[in-house]
Structure 1
Amino acid sequence: MRITRVFGAALLALGLAAGPAAADSSPSPSASADDSAPTRAGTSFRTAAEVRQGQQATASASTGDYLYWSFPADVGQRPTVEATVKLPAAHGAQTWQIDVYDGLRRRQACQYGAATRTAGQGASTVDLACVLRTVRGWSEPWGNDPLPGTYYVRLTALDLGSADLGKPVGAEVRVDSKDIGGAAAADGSLGKPLVPGIAVKSESDGGGSRTAVLSSFGSDDGWSSGWWSDRWVWTAIGGVLAALAGIGGYALTRGAGRPSRVPPNV
C-alpha cells in the first residue's frame, strides 16, 4: 500500500509538471489580420517593411524590383515564409525566388520548401515557401545557425525576358512559426538579439521630413532570456522517475537475500 501511495503521488506531480511543458511546446498562435499589416515593400535591407508573424503583407511592384520585408523570430521558433506573386496577364517564362537573411545579413538555408520556382508563360501566380531551421539561443562564432532577432525576406525575379521588365506585379508575404520548445534548446544564450539599429519604419521629425528610427522589434515583443526551456521540466521528471525506480526496486527486493530467522533450540 505504501508503494502504491508513493507512485500515485508521483504520477500526480508528473502530470502537474508536464502540463505547462505541453502547453509551451504547442504551436504559437498566429496574430489575426489587422490594418497594421504593411501594404508596400522596401527596396533594400535598410528600408525593409516590418511584418509581424501571422500578418499578411502585400505590395505592388514592377517586375525586376527587389522587394524586402523584415520580421522577428525568437529562440525555439521554426519560421515559415510563404510568398505569392501575382503575374501580369501576358508574360513569358520567369523564375522567382525568396531569400531569408538573419540580423547579420547572413543568408539562411531553407530546411525544406520551394524557395525558387519558374512560372510558365501565361501562369497567373507563382507560390514560394521557405521553412527555416529552428532558431537557437546560442551558436559558435563560426557557425551559421539561425539566432534570435530580426530576419529579412527578399523577393525578386531571377530569370525573365527583357519584354517583361517593368510590368506590374503584386506580392503577398506571410510569416508564421512553430514553437519547437526544449527539443532545440542549446547550452548558452546571446547577450542581445540580432536586431539592427537601422529602422524598418520611418516617422516625421519636427521639420516634416521623414527620418529613420530605431527598429520596433525589441523587448516589448518578449525576447526569451535564453536559459529557460521546457527541457528543464522533462529533466526534473526524469530525475523523479529514476528516484522512484530506485525506491521501488529497493522495496521489492528488501530482505530477499537475508536468511530467515529460526528460533534457537532450547
Structure 2
Amino acid sequence: MCYLLILLAALPVSCDKTPAPDPPSGEELPPAVADSALTRVTLSAGKQNVYTLDLFVYDGGGTQPLEKHLLYDRMPDSLSFLTTVGEKILVGIANSPRRFNLAALGRFDTMQKLAFSFADDNPASPILGGTVTTVGQAGGIVLTGLLCRIVLKTVTNTMDGYELLEEPRVRLIDLPDNAEILREKDFRPTELLDAGAWTELPCDVGFFPQEPGTTLWCYPNDTPEDVLGVPRPSLEFECRIAGQTCTFDVPLPPLPRGCSKEVELTVDGPDSYTYRVR
C-alpha cells in the first residue's frame, strides 16, 4: 500500500563563515556547513519520461536516518548538493502520483518497504525508482519501472469451415495489486486483483492471422513455475465461435521487474488451442 504524502520543510542547518565551493556547471549551491561535503549523483531513466523527481539522502551509518529530501520538476543528468561527510544512500523516485510522508520514511529500512499500487501507475509516465550507495561522495542512480508489458502479438484461426473468432477481446487476470519500488527480485505478491479491464481487438479473426499488437500491463511476479500457492498472471482471450462464448487462458511465465513478453495464440476450435510466450 502506498504511503500518503505530506511534504515537510527541510530542517535548518547552522552556518559558519566558510565560503561555499564553486558551483559546478553553473549550479547555485547552498552555503557550506560545518563538516559538510559536496555530494554528486548522476541519474538515468533510459527512454522513460520523467515529470517529477524525489531524491532522498540517507546517512549510510547507524540507523541510516533521512538527512535530506529534494524535489525537482524534471530530471537533470546530474545533481550536486551539500550533505554531511560520509557514506550516503541515495534513493530516486520519479513520477510519484502522490506526495510523501517524510516522517514515515525517516529511515532507510522504511524506504525499502515503500510500495506503490498498480492502479496508480501509468505507462505514459511510469513510476520509477532506484538507489545507490555513494563512494567518495559520488554515485549514479539508474531509475527503472515496475510495470511489465504483455503484448498479444498474433492470433491465428485454424478452424475448418471458415468459422470466425468474433468479438475478440483480451485481458490479464490474477494481477499483483502492489509492489515495492526498490525491490529488484523475489516479487511474491500477497494481494491480487482478480482481473484487469477488457481490451477489444480491432477486428474478427478469420482465415488470415491477425497481428493486433494489443498491449496490456501488470506489476511483476517472478514466482518460479515450480512454486505452488502464488498464482502468476494469465492472459485471457475471449471470443464468440458459432454463437458460443469461448475463453482461452494463457498462463504467463515468471515476470521480472519491467520485463516484456509476447504471446502468440492459435485457436483450433472451441475447446482446442495452443500458445507460445516469449
Whether TM exceeds 0.5 here: the answer is no
Greater RCO, 1 or 2 (C-alpha within 8 Å, sep 6+) = 1
More helix by share: 1
TM-score, reference length from structure 1: 0.23
More strand by share: 2
